[in-house]
Amino acid sequence: MRNTRSRSFPVLMLTLAFFAGLIYFMVNLVTHASEWASMPYNGHLSDSTGLEYAGEIKDKNGVVLAYSKDGKRLYNEDEEIRRACLHVVGDDSVNISTAIQTMYRSDLSGYNFVFGLGMPDSLKKGGDITLTIDSEVQRAALRALGDYRGAAIVYNYKTGDILCLASTPTYDPMNKPEDIETNEAYEGAYLNRAVSATYAPGSTFKLVTAQAALEKDSEAYKREYDCTGGTEIGGREINCYEVSGHIDMFGALRESCNAYFAELTVELGRDAMTAQAQKCGFGKRWKFDGITTATSVYDVSKADENEFAWSGVGQYTVLECPMNMAIRTSAIANGGVCVIPELISKMDSSLADKLRSDGKSSPERMMSQQTAEKLKEMMDDTAANYYGKDYLCPELDICAKTGTAEISDDGTAHAWVTGFSTDEDCPLAFAVIVERGNSGYQVAIPAASAILSAAARSYRS
């Protein structure tokens, strides 16, 4: 019988493997439980379930944006603030996937590993979350965007703190419109356009093309060209808005000359353009504080010569997420290295705080310091000599580039502006998109200007 016993050893091994598997599962459960429980599929936390006793969400000045009282989830008493902060804070549902109340619902609801979500209501104590945003800047953004759809991002390119992350259309989380699913005015209201949408970047992409040229040859800004209001590449037209005459790269960026940058694009070639776009965040998703941005796209592998030329001025099929634009602009402001934004400044749960920093993208060098300085000079020149610094924002010293990205042949276009302030006490990078705004200069700049003024007040008061 001894034989039988020794031959039963493999069966014992099977059992030990079974126990090892159970331990493995437990380790997995302990380390991931909070993350798993926060998944939007969790029925315990869907709709208002799980928020009845949840903690507070505050802005950087301690203004309470959301809190729970008597088993009810309530939001800031000011309706305008509620609408302005909707996409950051979230509502009772889990429809806005990048909202704090969706991503951190289990932490807000006081989830802990020992009791899971099974604590009696009277013992529940939700964790609080403090954000980096300023609700007044959010309000300014909501007003600036007005009836337009669009998004605005303002963040500190030294610390990464997001001061403004606004998206329209929006709604009041305390009085959710009943016709939200059917009314066209609310189309895409659940989307935070600042991080989850992509648009044709238009002329703002000329910064990438200029960067590609400067990275290849630091003297490239001297390149001269005679603009006659357009040129022909690959048998088809590349047209400009105006006739710029004899210009160098400074002039071309200032006057946003399509012909100059189209010729430059073709000269640089597809590989260099693609490589530079990738350096600027195209083709990747940025991750911070649980948010994963939409992927910006620069793919010219199937483009013909003319289409490739258009890609260099942000047309063709080029698509960019507003957050990516803000991040690549931060690299110009910051000597070539981009800054990863942050939305949460403080969390009660230390474990969640740790997990939050684990998944964060790391800052990358997008261009050399020399290139960054040159682009900064050009954007400064464009702001000072073309847009007008006072028009941009009288309180701050702004460097900027607009974009008017055509989306149909009748001239409808998205209006963009991106840039940064050079003020020591207010180091802010920004990107603003106004859908169908038709003119970066006439629509996007005034919107950005109002938001930046509010941001300056936030920092200086």
Partner 1 sequence: MNEAMEMLSFGIRIAEPFIALVVVIMCFYSLRGGRREEKALIVLEDAENESTYPVIYWENSIGRSKSSDIRISDPTVSRDHAVLLRRNDGWFVADTGSRSGVYVNGERTVGRSPVGVGDIISCGSTSLVLRRAADMGVKTPQKEKKTVPQALILICIMLYMSLLTLQGVINTGKPDIVLPAAAFTAVMWIFYAVSRAVFKRRNFELESLALLLSGTGIMLAAAHDMKNGMTQTAAMVLGIVIYLFMLWFLEIPDRVMKWTVAISVLTLLLLASTLVLGRSLHGAKNWIIIGPVSVQPSEFAKIAYIFAGASTLDVLQTKKSLASFIAVSGISVGLLVLMSDFGTGVIFFVSFLMIAFMRSGDIKTVILAVTAAVLGVLVMLSAKPYIADRFSAWGHVWEYADDTGYQQVRSLIYSASGGLFGVGLSDGYLQYLFASENDLVFCLICEELGCIIALLCAAVIGGMMIYSRGVTTRSRSTFYSIAACTAGGMLVFQSALNIFGVTDILPLTGVTLPFVSYGGTSMAACWGLISFIKAADERTYARHIPKTKKRRPEKTEPEYVEV
Query: Residues in the site for partner 1, rule: CB under 8 A?
Result: 1-8, 10-12, 14-15, 17-19, 21-22, 24-26, 28-29, 32-37, 39, 41-44, 111-123
Alpha carbon distance 361, 182 (integer Å): 37
**Contact of 218 with 370, CB cutoff 8 Å:** yes
Q: Could you tell me the smallest distance in angstroms from the CB atom of residue 19 to partner 1? A: 6
Residue 19 or residue 182: which is nearer to partner 1 going by CB?
A: 19
Alpha-helix residue ranges (DSSP H) falling in 8-78: 9-37
- SS3 at position 175: coil
Q: How far is the CB of 126 from partner 1 (least distance, A)?
A: 15
Task: Record the tokens describing residue 414, joined without a space.
Answer: 């998205």
50: helix, strand or coil: coil
Q: How far is the CB of 281 from partner 1 (least distance, A)?
A: 23
Q: State the minimum distance, in angstroms, from the CB of residue 293 to partner 1.
A: 18
DSSP assignment of 340-388: --B-EEEES-HHHHHHHHHTPPPP-B-S-HHHHHHHHHHHHHHIIIII-
Q: Closer CB to partner 1, residue 10 or residue 62? A: 10
**Residue in this structure with the two tokens 């088809």, named with its chain if needed:** 236
Is the CB of 34 or the CB of 296 nearer to partner 1?
34
What helix, strand, coil percent values describe the chain, rounded to 5?
Answer: 40, 20, 40
Task: Answer yes or no: are the C-beta atoms of 216 and 227 closer than 8 Å.
Answer: no
In the complex, minimum distance from the CB of residue 350 to partner 1, in angstroms, rounded to a whole number: 18
Length of the chain: 461
Cβ-based nearer residue to partner 1, 20 or 185 = 20
Q: Cβ closer to partner 1: 10 or 411?
A: 10
Torsional sign, CA 339, 451, 99, 170:
negative
Which is nearer to partner 1, 14 or 219 (by Cβ)? 14
β-pair type (287-288, 245-247): unpaired
Minimum CB–partner distance for residue 29 and partner 1 (Å)? 6
C-beta of 39 vs 185, nearer to partner 1? 39
Q: How far is the CB of 33 from partner 1 (least distance, A)?
A: 4
